Chain A
Amino acid sequence: MFVVFFISNVVPTDPARIVAGENATEAQVVALRTEMGLDQPLYVQFGRYIADLATGDLGKSLYTQRAIADDLLHRLPATLELTIAAMIISIGVGVPLGVISAVKRNSWIDQLLRILSVSGLAVASFWLAMELQMYFSTKLGWTPLNGRIGGWGPDEITGFYVIDSLLGGDWASLWDTLHHMLLPAVTLALPAAATLVRFTRAGVLEVINSNYVLYERAMGFPTSLIIWKYVLRNALISTVTQIGLIFGALFAGAVVVEAVFDWPGLGTYAVQSILQSDTKAILGFSIVVGIVFIGVNLLVDIVHTFIDPRTIQ
């Protein structure tokens, strides 16, 4: 944040000139510069920015003149909804496949999963997004091309369309939202699922040879019970930390995926701001993402203590 703030002030673009437009006179630009506080020394500007930040004010967008904090807050639910959907897909797919891969290690299915997980980490998400969009939306017409919903969306309560349509009993909107969400969420989930397969596999392999598993086997517990109940719980400890990291990665990855699918979230906002050289908006965006990021890490630490009693002293 500090870094970006200072770089943005070293770069020789004049925000006042952008706001004033191309036909503004020199006097207008100077007046605007005073109004925006740009004639003050850098440390004063930075101090002001921080003071505003403390009250939740991220400044105004250079283009729309709307408060950046409001815009971002309004768009946050869309990104969170997409991120959470991708999260659910990646856990739902990644963890079971990781367990299967570990239990049947070195079999053909393990080899196949390993090839798939290495591939999933190597693919550029924006490219995958475009290819999926081209195939499933444009060619087959199975999924909507872009956006979050066809019509106006459900009555807004939380901003999360899935929750709002459930609360309002609006089944058509729910279906439409899920339909729109499918491709972006799958695209976003792929690298995360690949990471989870690898981590779950490693975690299960570490636990599966321990003495208590041997004991349970000797007691005649069915293998599936041992694996899915006792082994998984211990194996997932490292995976939970990973899930926290993955949430951050998904949230960040959403920037690019949203841009392809025109998903009206933070990512699309960031990309629009890039195109308009709206530095303050980008700065506000990085700060909001940073806050979510830190919040998630805190949450992971808390969840960790529930799963792993050893961390409570």
Chain B
Amino acid sequence: MSVLKRLLSDRAASLGAAIILGLVLVAILAPWIAPYPGDVTAFHLADRLQPPSAEHIFGTDRMGSDVFSRLLFGARITISIAVIAVGVSVAIGVPIGLLAGYYGGFPGGFLMRTSDIFLAVPQIVLAIAIAQTLGPSVENVILALSLTYWPFWARLVYAETNALKKQTFVEAALALGASDLRVMVLHILPNTASAIIVRTSIGMGATILTAAALGFLGLGAPAPTPEWGRTISEAREFLPEAWWYAAAPGLAIFLVVMGFNLLGDGLRDILDPKLRKGSR
């Protein structure tokens, strides 16, 4: 409870939390709050590329669809890509880090060197390479991002576990006859939780940016999907006249990533004072 209270007393972090909450609500309620819910696939050629007006607050796109409505549905794609990709990364990375850190030796070294291989190439490049070989679709973007980002959690948990396993409370648990699995899951894992939470919040922002870049490069979902990165690349040929077309999804990405970064920074200051760089 105190964590929540302290989070709310931090203006930047609560702004971040509010943005994310707003995004989630918008994503869930998209079919009800979008002014033109049918516009994701429908087209009205007479209304093509209309500037923002009372009927279309963010204007219309090349199909005459309402940019605002498509933006709301795009939030669903963005949030599902980020949540699933980060979820899978955590699900792969955390156990690997835990096992490698706890047992060490050759198997631990092997697991960590494997993660080094993934880290040797910049994330966006690896994600591009994987997504390209798998072919363009939302599922493949998620897979590419998961394969790209899991080493971050593996390394984090590995470092924490390595330090924690020498602590007295772990020795005590082992002396009392607890199994390795029990020590790992019930004693070590909870102590790494705050670091994982912080990393996850910041990782969401990075994942959303990479996913959008993949969409922009044409590696994401195919044509009528209102994914934000793809929308920006569609809007490109109508610049500078139809400025609203690219501006809306760009600002949406900016806002959401900002939200996760602010929340991550705030959480880090509260949960993980060791990591805090400089005083406030």
Contacts and interface: CB of A to CB of B under 8 A. Distances in A.
Interface of A: 1-4, 7-8, 11, 13, 102, 118-119, 121-128, 130-131, 133-135, 138-139, 198-199, 201-203, 205-206, 248-249, 251-253, 255-256, 259, 270-271, 273-275, 277, 279, 282-283, 285-286, 289-290, 293-294
Nearest to A208: B278
B86 interface: no
Contact of A124 (B243, B247, B250, B277): B250
B229 A124 contact: yes
Interface in B99-114: none
B258 A7 contact: no
Given A123-B250, A124-B254, A256-B213, 11 more contacts: A1-B121, A3-B126, A102-B278, A118-B258, A123-B257, A130-B246, A134-B246, A273-B132, A274-B217, A274-B219, A275-B218
B124 A7 contact: no
Contacts of A121: 205, 257, 261
Interface in B224-280: 229, 232-233, 236, 239-240, 243, 246-247, 249-250, 253-255, 257-258, 261-262, 265, 277-279
Q: Which of A128, A249, A274 has the most CB of B within 10 A?
A: A274
6 contacts: A3-B147, A11-B135, A121-B261, A127-B246, A128-B250, A290-B120
B128 interface: yes
Main secondary structure of the interface of A (DSSP, over half): helix
A286 B250 CA distance: 27
Contacts of A270: 125, 128
B240 A135 contact: yes
Which 4 A-B pairs rank lowest in CB-CB distance, beginning with the nearest?
A252-B122, A202-B278, A202-B277, A127-B250
A255 B124 contact: yes
Interface residues on B, range: 35 or more
B261 to A, nearest CB: 6
A279 B134 CA distance: 10
Given A122-B261, A126-B216, A275-B218, A294 B250 contact: no
Interface string B161-201: 00000000000000000000000000000000000000000
A8 B120 contact: no
Given A122-B254, A138-B240, A252-B123, A7 B216 contact: no
Contact of B132 (A127, A201, A282): A282
B129 A131 contact: no
A289 B133 CA distance: 17
Contacts of B120: 290, 293-294
Contact of B133 (A2, A7, A126, A251): A7
A93 B126 CA distance: 30
Contacts of A255: 124-125, 128
Contacts of A133: 239
Given A3-B147, A11-B134, A286 B123 contact: no
Given A279-B133, A289-B122, A123 B254 contact: yes
Nearest to B236: A130
Contacts of A289: 121-122, 125
B217 A259 contact: yes
A68 to B, nearest CB: 13
A124 B217 contact: no
Nearest to A101: B278
A1 B120 CA distance: 10
B212 interface: yes
A45 B122 CA distance: 26
Q: Which of B126, B132, B218 has the most CB of A within 10 A?
A: B132
Given A201-B278, A255-B125, A256-B213, A4 B250 contact: no
B159 interface: no
Contacts of A135: 240
A146 to B, nearest CB: 12
Contacts of A290: 120-121, 125
Contacts of A293: 120-122
Nearest to B280: A106
